[in-house]
Structure 1
Amino acid sequence: MIDALTVAVSAAALVLAAWCGFAAYRDQPTKDWHVIGMVVVSLLALAQLVVGVVRLAQGEQPHDSAAIFVSYLLGAAAAVPATGFMSLSERTRWGSVTVAAGALVLAVLEVRLYDIWGGGNG
């Protein structure tokens, strides 16, 4: 995997989590600017999915199972869009909390993806 991309996705997810968490603290639902942030984070996670699948197709193998790796990639790509859609149906502060939680989940998934690929075994 590309370590810089993993760090970028993690950092963007944590920024989104803090931003939406602050909105929830201020008792605000997700706004258009939050949706733009969700799109940026989702595109980064989608790029990581594509890079991961291409690396697998080129013959590179993760330290752990390839099936587990692909499952985590799919979960990472779906975490923010799923919570984003849920936040649009919940137009209260809890919508912001939902996105913040989804972004935190994405950051944790990134750490796990790094471990599965073998980043900690260098």
Structure 2
Amino acid sequence: MLDALTVATSVAALALAAWCGFAAYRDQQTKDWHFIGMAVVTLLALLQLVIGVVQLVRGGKPEQGTTIFVAYLLGAFACVPAAGFMSLAERTRWGSATVSAGGVVLAVLEVRLFDIWGG
């Protein structure tokens, strides 16, 4: 896996979590700018998904198993969009808190992906 992409995705996810957490602290719902941030983080996760699948097709072997690696890749890709959709249903400060939690979960999944690959 690309270590730089994993770090970039984790940092972007934590920045999104802090940004939306601050909005929740200020009693604000998710705004259009937050959704742009979610799109950027989701694109990074999609890029990681594509690169991970390409490396598997080229013969790369995750240290802890291909099935769990693919499952974590898919979970990391779906994490922030799922939180974004939930924040649309909850148009209060708790929608922002949900996106913040999704960003933290993505950062943790990135660390786990790094471990599964053998970093």
Please indicate the TM-score interval, normalised by the length of the shorter structure: over 0.9
Cα displacement (A) at 1:29: 0.4
Alignment-derived partner of residue 24 in structure 2: 24
Q: Where do 5+ consecutive residues of structure 1 fail to align?
A: none
Alignment-derived partner of residue 68 in structure 2: 68
Which residue identity does 1:67 align to in structure 2? Answer: T
Runs of 4+ in structure 1 over 3 Å off: none
Among all aligned residue pairs of Structure 1 and Structure 2, give the percentage whose two residues are the same amino acid.
75
TM-score by length of 1: 0.97
Q: Distance in 1 between matches of 2:89 and 2:38?
A: 15
CA RMSD after TM alignment: 0.3
Once the two structures are superposed, residues 10-53 of structure 1 have per-residue CA deviations (whole angstroms, 9 ceiling, x without a partner) of: 00000000000000000000000000000000000000000000
Q: Distance in 2 between matches of 1:44 and 1:89?
A: 24
Alignment-derived partner of residue 3 in structure 2: 3
TM-score by length of 2: 0.99
Alignment-derived partner of residue 58 in structure 1: 58
Once the two structures are superposed, residues 62-97 of structure 1 have per-residue CA deviations (whole angstroms, 9 ceiling, x without a partner) of: 111100000000000000000001001110000000
Aligned length: 119
Q: Distance in 1 between matches of 2:9 and 2:85?
A: 20
Q: Secondary structure at 1:6's aligned position in 2?
A: helix
Q: Where do 5+ consecutive residues of structure 2 fail to align?
A: none
